[in-house]
A = this chain, B = another copy of it.
Amino acid sequence: MPTLTELVAAGDRRALASLISRIEQDDPAVWEILGRLHPRTGRATLIGITGAPGTGKSTLVAALAGIFRAGTGSRPPRTVGILAVDPTSPFSGGAILGDRIRMRNLAGDGGVFIRSMASRGRLGGLARAAGAAVRAMDAAGLETILIETVGVGQDEVDIAQQADTVIVVEAPGLGDDIQALKAGILEIADILVVNKADLPGADSTVESLRAMLGLGEEGGDCWKALVLKTVALSGQGVEEVAQAIHRHREFLKRSGEKNRREQRRAEADLRERLRERLFEGWEQKGSRDLAEMASRIAARQCSPEEAVKILLND
């Protein structure tokens, strides 16, 4: 009987689905499996796609997946994994009919693996689970992995940044609130897509994004974030996004930025793991009544700052 590790490594989709379910259920055994799969990872192209609700991210993801599956003269067809970290994704019923029809087309294709994750759970939990699911998909040999997140918070940024190429999706006319979010999210975008470009205001959205990005150079070791227009529902402009992803991938390799990003991610992940393990180790060492100390803090008998000193015997 082959083990789960062997089955995932061999690209078995049911084994992959089962491993991701165990990741979601927080089964501690998954880390050993992922550790054994680690040498098989690092081969996939990881693409993060994020943006506010209503921008049509899911439709764009589906359209991109179709293009990667088909390939072109210069790009061979690739297997595609989609991880939708998104309670509003087509898989959980939140999206428009068009997405569902598109996704149904993809779902019949054995070269596409689709999985959703709900954005609940405790702080950091979702980003970590998403990272683990991406590692599993990578180890299973999926060649291009699209990581879709909804929202405008730090969590979404953290998840998107686990990718090599980050795409931020905007749409015209979503109101001042969302417009104002751009400043923060621009920093992480390698490619900006103004979707629903058939709506009024698309050109002025493109213009204001370009103005915010400012001047920059491209070529060699430099990458200047691109602003592209799409109508994902009809497929218009999506091939240009696929080409931009391809160019960004070439840039990442050429400039050494791919390694730098990967190393940065590995270090941040290592730091987080150490933080958790050190705390667990400390907690197990003796009787640590955090709840009792918390009541003293709440009763203003001591401050949190004093409590830490007492607990650590500083």
Interface residues of A (CB under 8 A from B): 31-32, 34-36, 38-39, 41-42, 52-54, 87-88, 92-96, 118-120, 123-124, 126-127, 150-156, 158, 174-181, 183-184, 259, 262-267, 269-271, 273-279, 281-282, 290-291, 293-295, 297-298, 300, 302-308, 311-312
Contact = CB atoms under 8 A, between A and B. Distances in A.
Contact of A290 (B39, B154, B267): B267
A303 B32 CA distance: 10
Which of A95, A277, A278 counts the most chain B CB atoms within 10 A? Answer: A278
Which of A127, A155, A177, A290 counts the most chain B CB atoms within 10 A? Answer: A177
A304 B273 contact: yes
Contact of A87 (B124, B181, B293, B294): B181
A258 to B, nearest CB: 10
B154 A152 contact: no
Give 4 nearest A-B pairs by CB, closest first. Answer: A153-B153, A94-B180, A53-B177, A35-B305
Contacts of A312: 274, 277-278, 281
Contacts of A290: 267, 270-271, 274
A294 B278 CA distance: 18
B297 A180 contact: no
Copies in the assembly, this chain: 2
A35 B304 contact: yes
A180 to B, nearest CB: 3
A53 B300 contact: no
A58 to B, nearest CB: 9
Contacts of A53: 52, 152, 174-175, 177-178, 181
A264 B298 CA distance: 9
Interface SS majority for chain A? helix
A304 B128 CA distance: 13
Contacts of A124: 123-124
A274 B276 CA distance: 10
Contacts of A174: 53-54
A122 B295 CA distance: 29
B270 A279 contact: no
A119 B155 CA distance: 11
A155 B279 CA distance: 22
A54 B175 CA distance: 7
A130 to B, nearest CB: 12
Contacts of A93: 180
Contacts of A181: 53, 87-88, 94
A28 B187 CA distance: 27
Contacts of A259: 298
A264 B126 CA distance: 21
A15 to B, nearest CB: 19
A308 B31 CA distance: 12
